[in-house]
Amino acid sequence: MSQEFTLPLSGLNCGRCVAKVEQALSTHTGISQYSVTKTELTLTTSLSKTDIIEIISQLGYSVPQEKVITLYLAGLNCGKCVKKTTETLKALSHSTVLSISKTELSFSTTHTIKSVITLIESIGFQASSVPFILEDTSSELSNKEVIKTTEKREPNTKRTTQLILSGMTCASCVASVEKIISDTNNVQSVRVNLAERTALVTGDINEIDVIQAIEKGGYGAEISLSEEQRRERQKELYLKTTAAHKKNTIVSLTIGAPLMLWGVFGGNMQINTISDQLAWGLVGLICLGLLLTAGRHFFVNAWKAFTHHRATMDTLVALGTGSAWLYSMALVISPDFFPEQARHVYFEATAMILGLITLGNLIETKARNRTSSAIEKLLNLQPQTAMIILDGKEVELPISQVLQGMIIKIKPGEKIPVDGVLISGESYLDEAMLTGEPLPSLKTMNDTVHAGTINQQGSFTFKATNVGEHTMLARIITMVRNAQSSKPNIAKLADKISSVFVPSVMIIAIFSALIWYNFGPEPTSSYMLVVATTVLIIACPCALGLATPMSVTVGIGKAAEFGALIKDADVLQTASTIDTVVVDKTGTLTEGKPTVSKISTFNNYTEQQVITLAAAVESHSEHPLAQAVMAYFKQHSWEAIAGLNFTAQLGLGASAKVDSDTVFIGNMAYLLKNDIAVPHVVLSPSSTPLFVAVNKQGIGVIEVSDTIRVDSALAIKQFTQLGITVVMLTGDRKETAEHVAKQLGITQVVSGVLPDGKAQVIKDLQSQGHKVAMIGDGINDAPALAQAEVGIAMGNGSDVAIESAHLTLMNHSLQTAVSAIELSKATMKNMKQNLFGAFVYNTIGIPIAAGILFPLTGMLLSPVVAGAAMALSSITVVTNANRLRLFNPRSQQDSYEKTKGASHD
C-alpha cells in the first residue's frame, strides 16, 4: 500500500546533490512520485520510512531525526500569548508542539535549539534551555507582582522581521504585497524588494497573520530566521526557478521556432481546407499542452490577481498568449465564421512569446542572483565552527553553540568566529573585508577582535563577548540588508506609475483593438487581435519594477565592499547632490591621537608638578587631549595625586579639587571665564594649548599636537576634483586650524566652535543653498551629523557611529567618504538610466505596438517581436545595474597608481 512521506534532508549542497538523490529514487519501483529539494524530500511509495532513510544514507546524505527539546518560556501572560507562540512554531517544517504552557514548551523538531529560541524571541517572548531565575530582591514580592510586572512589557514597534517572498513578477506585485502587509495589525512600515524577493516589516507583528494575509493575496511568504537560512532558502528557490525557466524555454522554443520558421519561409498559415483544419488542430492541441505546462504559472497567477481585483505582468502575458490561442483555435473549429483573408493562425506567437519571455526571465534571474555578491562575501567570512577551550581541552563546536564568555583558541590562518577580547598571545589580523584597511592590524592583550577577520600569524586565545546576531559582522550584514531593501525618493515615481500601469495598458489594448476593428483594413479581426496581443505583451512592467531596486542592491552592496555602510537608499540619492563637505579636524583629518609636544612652566612650578596636577584633573576625562596628558604622565612614572569634585565644561575645560586647591585646565576662553590671567607664551601654530592654573594663578601651558593623517590631503584633492567644496570645522583655536588647513589645501576654515555650535554652522551653509555632508566621529558631532543632508561617521564601527550616522565608514580614511559619494553619483546615474530606459521603452513601444506607424510603413509589430522586446528590456535593466559591480573608486585608482609609481622607482 502506497503512502506519502515528507522527510527533511541534510548534506545536499547543490543541484548535483539533488540530481543524485533523484537518480537513486527513480531506480526504485516502489517509489511512484517524488519531489526533492536540498532540505526536503516528498514522495509517494510502498517502501517504509526506514527503507527511504537507508537509501538516502547510502548516497552519503542524512535524514535528520526529530528530537524532543524542552524550553522554558517567559513573557507569555495569557492564553493569546500561548496561542500566538503555538501558531508561530507550527510554521516550522518537520516540527510538532507536544505541550506548551506559559512557562514551558515540549517540542519535537529537526531544527536546532537556537533556531527555535530565535523564532520565539522574534514574536516578543523569551525562551531558554535552562529555567529563568527571577531575582527576588524583596521578600514581599509575590508571583502575582512578578506577572504584573511582566505584563507591562511594551510592544517592540522597532522590531524588524524579514520575509522571503515568492510569486512576485513585476512592480504591480510589489505594490500589492506592500499594501497587503501594511493592512495587517501593528505594521509600522514595510519595504518589499523585487530584486531580492524579500520584505522587511517593522513593527510588533504576528508573523503567522502576515504570512496568511500574503498567501490569501495570492503570493507566498516564509519567515527568514537568519541570514544563513535566508541565503540557503533563496539558493534553493533560485535553483528551482532557473531549472523551471530553462525547461519551459527549451520546450516553448522547440515548438515555437519551427512554427515561426514555417511562416517566415512561406509555409501556409491559413485555414482553407479540412486538411489544414486537422493539421493546425493538432498544432493547437500541442500549444494547449504548452500553455498548461510552460505557461501554466502565468495563467494561475493571473487568475489569483483577478480574484483579488489586481492586474499584473502575468495578466498581460496570459491575456496575450491566451487570446492568440483562442483566436487560432476558433479558426480551426469554425473557419467559415471568419472572412477568408482573416483565416491566419497565430499558434507560433503563443509558443514563441512564452519561450522568449521565459528566456528573458531565466537571464534576468541569473543576473539578479549576482547582485548580492557583497552580502555573500560577508556571510562567507564567518567560519562554521570554533575551537573552544573547556576544562583545559580543545573542543570544536558549531558556531551556533558558541556562548558569550567562552574561551576560543585561534591558530595561524584561521578566521575569527565571534567578537571578543584577546586574553593571551598576540598576532596581526587582516581586517580588510570588515574595515577596508589594507594593512594587517596588530592585536595584543585586551584588544578587541571581530568575527570574519583573519589571523595572519601566531596563535592566541580570546574571550567571546558578542556572539550570533550581536557580532559586528552580523550587524553590518543586517544594516546592508536593510539598506538594500529600502527605496530612494526617486523610486516613488516608479511605484506610483506601476500601481496604475497594467490597468492602463489593458485599457489601451482594448481601445486600440476597437479602433482597428471599426476603422482598420480587412481583415479587421486579424488586425485587431495582432494589435491587442502586441500591446499587452510589449508593455509588461518588469523593467519598471527592477529599475531602482537592482541599482540600489548593487550600489549598497558595492559600498559595503570598500567599507562604507549606507543606512538607507535615500542616502544614495541625497549624497549624489552634495556640493559641500564639512570636516571635523581632530580624529578625521588628523590621527585623533594627540601627543604632548611642549611644556612651558611659570611661577616656579616644575614640569613634573604641572603635569602631575593636570593629570589629577584629566584622569577623570575621556577627551583625546586628556588622554594625551595622561599618556605623557604615565610615560614618566610619576606619583599620582587624587583629584576630587571633577567638573567639566564642554568645549572649554575642566577643574577638580587637589588637596585644598582648585586646579583648572583648558583653553584660553576657559581661563578668561574663570577670571584667570592668561600667561604670555609663544605657541606653535600646529599645537593646541592646554592652560593649567591653580586657584587663580597660571602655572603652565601644555602644548598638544595631532599628526595629520597621510591620506587626508589626497582625499581633499579628490573632493575638489568632484567639484565639492571642503570646509574645516573645529573647536580648536584659529592658528592651529589654519596651520592644518594650509597643509591640506583647505581654503575655508571655521574654528573655535563648540559642539552645540557646529549644527548652526551647518544650518548657515544650508541657508545659502548648499547641500551639506558632515564628516565627524559620530559622537561629539552628533547634532551636526543629524543636521546635515548626509551625516558620515568616521571610526571603527562603534555602536554609536553605526546608529547615529546616515553613512558609516568602517575604516578611518577620508578617501572612503570620497568613494562613497562617487558611488552614490554612479548609482543614481545608473538608476536614472534604468528608469529612462523603462519609461522610454514603454512610451515608444506601446504606440508602435498599437500600430501608429502602420499608415507610414504598412506593417504591424509582430507579437513575437513584442515578446522578445519585453524580455530584452528586463535583461537590459538588470545588466546595466550589474555594471555597478565594476565600479572602481577614485581612491583605489590613486592607490594603484601610487603603488605602480613606487614600483618603478
Beta bridge partners of 95: 109
* Rounded-to-integer distance, Cα 801 and Cα 785, Å: 10
According to DSSP, residue 685 is labeled T
* Rounded-to-integer distance, Cα 421 and Cα 447, Å: 6
Closest CA to 172 of 203, 218, 208, 205: 218
* Rounded-to-integer distance, Cα 700 and Cα 710, Å: 32
Beta bridge partners of 386: 397
Annotated catalytic residue 781: no
* Catalytic residue (choose from 314, 568, 584, 706): 584
* Rounded-to-integer distance, Cα 423 and Cα 335, Å: 88
* Rounded-to-integer distance, Cα 159 and Cα 660, Å: 53
* Rounded-to-integer distance, Cα 690 and Cα 666, Å: 5
In our burial notation (b when 16+ CB lie closer than 10 A, e otherwise), range 830-850 reads: bbebbbebbbebbeebbebbb
* Rounded-to-integer distance, Cα 608 and Cα 702, Å: 12
Question: If you write DSSP's letter for every residue of 290-314 in order, what string do you get?
Answer: HHHHTTHHHHHHHHHHHHTT---HH
Three-state helix/strand/coil letters over 460-511: EEEEEEECHHHCHHHHHHHHHHHHHHCCCCHHHHHHHHHHHHHHHHHHHHHH
* Rounded-to-integer distance, Cα 410 and Cα 387, Å: 7
According to DSSP, residue 154 is labeled P
Which CA distances in Å does 38 have to 162, 344, 804, 878?
22, 47, 41, 27
Beta bridge partners of 654: 648, 665
- Look up residue 830 and give its three cell numbers: 545608473
Q: In one letter, which amino acid is 863?
A: P
Number of Cβ atoms within 10 Å of the Cβ of 92:
18
* Rounded-to-integer distance, Cα 429 and Cα 443, Å: 7
Phi/psi class of residue 752: alpha, beta or left (left: φ > 0; alpha: ψ in -120 to 50)? left
* Rounded-to-integer distance, Cα 327 and Cα 334, Å: 11
Catalytic residue positions, numbered: 584
